[in-house]
């Protein structure tokens, strides 16, 4: 367990609890899993939500029950015009709650899933994929650069759908944006390396989240087939991905940058 913002998390190393992580899209699923795992590693967490404030409140409550500290802020990653106001809100809250002006981890996780057949994709559909999955994370990272501490870590959530072998009809636009994010990850690692800022991405496979309008809850019959294509024999859980994100944000991963790490249980090997 760990103490408040000025205490230390006691593990293999001492990590200042005043280190702050920003996690977008953390009201449920992978983002929530990452927020909880980061708090367990001693980070103070700023988590965002778009349409599920109740989920964000539950995530904050869970972190606080375990002795951590977190705050939730509304944010729509698809509206890049709102980014300056969000950055201002982050700066204000981390100063007020933790007495700091720096962020040590940024997790670009907010997004949406669900396929759309290529023949039916409209410009509006394409722009939504682009704005939420690529443009938003790209420009949010740029806007937060003044707050990111030297030696900080950025983790982007990509997707196993980018990899050959996991090519399913209906995901051309989604996978194209995730592929772009992986490429941007590598280039940002190169550009931000002189500041000691590490940039990586994690590529989940099918994971039990609210993605695609709670598809796994509405269609549990599909789980068996997915587990059958997964080397480790089950559907991924948010904490599976969250643990790897928290690791990459920590000093334990201090020699890893520019990588896209598959966290899929061996899906579609």
Q: Answer yes or no: 174 catalytic.
A: yes
Instruction: Round to whole Å and give the CA distance between 35 and 262.
Output: 19
Q: Which of 49, 129, 171, 174 is catalytic?
A: 174
251: nearest Cα among 203, 204, 196, 195: 196
216 CB neighbour count, 10 Å cutoff: 17
Instruction: Round to whole Å and give the CA distance between 261 and 243.
Output: 13
Under a CB-based contact definition with an 8 Å cutoff, are residues 204 and 157 in contact? yes
Instruction: Round to whole Å and give the CA distance between 101 and 92.
Output: 8
User: Half-sphere exposure of residue 170, counting CA atoms within 13 Å on the CB side?
Assistant: 5
Supply the residues annotated as catalytic.
174
């Amino acid at each position: 367990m760990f103490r408040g913002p000025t205490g230390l998390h006691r593990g293999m190393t001492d990590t200042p609890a005043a280190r702050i992580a920003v996690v977008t899209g953390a009201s449920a699923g992978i983002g929530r899993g990452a927020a909880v795992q980061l708090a367990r590693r001693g980070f103070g967490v700023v988590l965002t939500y778009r349409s599920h404030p109740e989920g964000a409140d539950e995530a904050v409550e869970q972190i606080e029950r375990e002795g951590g500290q977190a705050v939730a802020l509304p944010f729509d990653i698809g509206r890049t015009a709102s980014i300056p106001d969000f950055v201002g809100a982050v700066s204000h809250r981390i100063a007020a709650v933790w007495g700091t002006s720096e962020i040590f981890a940024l997790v670009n996780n907010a997004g949406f899933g669900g396929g759309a057949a290529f023949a039916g994709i409209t410009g509006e559909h394409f722009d939504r994929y682009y704005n939420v999955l690529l443009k938003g994370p790209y420009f949010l990272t740029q806007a937060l650069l003044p707050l990111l501490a030297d030696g900080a870590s950025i983790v982007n959530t990509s997707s196993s759908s980018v990899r050959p072998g996991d090519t399913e009809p209906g995901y051309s636009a989604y996978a194209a944006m995730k592929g772009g994010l992986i490429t941007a990850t590598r280039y940002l690692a190169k550009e931000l390396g002189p500041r000691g800022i590490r940039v990586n991405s994690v590529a989940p496979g099918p994971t039990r989240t609210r993605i695609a309008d709670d598809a796994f809850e509405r269609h549990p019959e599909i789980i068996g087939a997915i587990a059958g294509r997964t080397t480790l024999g089950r559907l991924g859980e948010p904490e599976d991905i969250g643990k790897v994100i928290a690791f990459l944000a920590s000093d334990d991963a201090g020699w890893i940058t520019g990588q896209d790490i598959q966290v899929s249980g061996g899906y579609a090997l």
